Amino acid sequence: MDRRKLALGATMLTMLLTFICINSGRTQAAIPAHIPIDGIFKPSIGVDSSVQAGGIVQVTPDSQNKKGAIWSEEQYKIDLTHNFTSLMYVNLGDKKAQSVDGMAFAMMNDPDKVKNWQQVTGGALGVWWNPFSWVKDNSAIAKSFAVEFDTYHNGNDFDGLLPNDGPDRGHVAYNFPGQDGAYQRLPSRLYALNHLQLQKPQNGDYLSLVTLGHIVMAPSVQAATTSNETTTRKIALEAGDTTTTNPPIVPGTDGNGNGPTGATGDITIDNLTPLDFGKVKLTGGAQNVKNIVKDPNVQVTDKRGTGAGWNITVKSSEFKDTTDSTHILKGAQINFPVGKVVASDSTNTAAPTAKAITVPADELDNAQILMSADKDKGMGTWADVMTTDGITLDIAGGAYAGSYNADLTWTLGDTPLQLAGSSR
């Protein structure tokens, strides 16, 4: 759905509405030059409207109990992100005081009602609420703006708020049919329309004459002699979907598919590359061994949209022999370098901070902060990508031969923590 068609209230509040009666006698005025209507407007289903010869739209024929609705085709929608002017000529008949109801010009965004028009007839003019309803209903066209050309005074209900300044020979006004503020309850408990920018014919004329009215609608900024335009765009952003997972920016697995966590939520650890230090020949002394898993990385996604910040810490258990748990790599520690912090979106520049840390491989609670996002940073998806051989394991001399494993515990906190040490 095109959001530009939804923000009608904000776009049209400064509408300048004018109308000029030309040729207000009883003789039909000549039809002025105009654009062809065929292919631009199309009647709804079940109405009495038609496109006449000569490119004229007949909304309703000159007889009782008729209803009409004719809408522009899909490709001729008005783009509300730009100012526009709409000029048309309207023939409202010649019934004068005997005229009934009238017509409305509407802009709306409801494709179903364009195709199957089933609105309230009579004083509602096919766009407003049912004036005879004691409760609010859904009869008005939602998400719409309407200008009414009302040729009949419904004094006891829909026109009950009009000023009592003499006979009502018809009037022009606008409002937003789908908004509660367009209506006001009368003492009779029926609803009346709030007529915005009300205008009436002058010099005793009736709106219903054999007259071609010259109707001009344009935003008020059109009157200014400037080429500058100001429009309003709206968007509502909500916290992200907490049921979906976030794929790794950099795969970084051990070749067996291990790495992606499958975590869901509004702030998650998405990827933790397993580490493998390969096969090493003991020298009898202290040794520094390099990781062999390609592109090791840690990835975090923050979809909360609050800018609260976060931190991720890591701690290690002891390295124990898989066949003899009494054999432990005493004094072992894992060294993580300062990684390259990358985002899933290159336009996201409010990056978290990564640092170089050393994690003791013991049973103590020696968690170290690898990456942290201060307030208003780290929103979105970020990965701390380290070089393959940048992660190393320190082994003390005097170790037993064997195959050793250790568990790394990663914890994601939902607030920032102070980083200490080397970082970038």
What is the reported pLDDT for 9? 30
Segment 231-277, tens digit of pLDDT: 555 566 666 677 788 888 888 666 666 789 889 999 999 999 999 99
Low-confidence ranges of the chain (pLDDT < 50): 1-28, 210-227, 418-424
What is the reported pLDDT for 34? 67
Which residue, among 318, 295, 302, 420, has the nearest Cα to 369 in the 3D structure? 420
Which residue, among 213, 214, 268, has the nearest Cα to 246 in the 3D structure? 268
What number does CATH give the domain 267-413? 2.60.40
Segment 117-133, tens digit of pLDDT: 555 667 777 788 776 66
What is the reported pLDDT for 173? 86
Amino acid (1-letter code) at residue 402 = G
Secondary structure in 3-state letters for 55-105: CEEECCCCCCCCCCCEEECHHHCCCCCCCCCEEEEEECCCCHHHCCCEEEE
Which residue, among 24, 16, 52, has the nearest Cα to 215 in the 3D structure? 16
What is the reported pLDDT for 281? 92
Which residue, among 260, 237, 266, has the nearest Cα to 414 in the 3D structure? 266
Residue with tokens 């899933």: 344
Are 211 and 92 in contact by the 8 Å Cβ rule? The answer is yes
What is the reported pLDDT for 414? 82
Are 252 and 342 in contact by the 8 Å Cβ rule? The answer is no
Domain coordinates of the chain in residue numbers? Answer: 3-223, 267-413
What is the reported pLDDT for 140? 80
Query: Using CA atoms, how far apart are residues 158 and 139, in angstroms rounded to an integer?
Result: 14
What is the reported pLDDT for 126? 78
What number does CATH give the domain 3-223? 2.60.120.200
Sequence-distant (6+) residues with CB within 8 A of 226 are: none
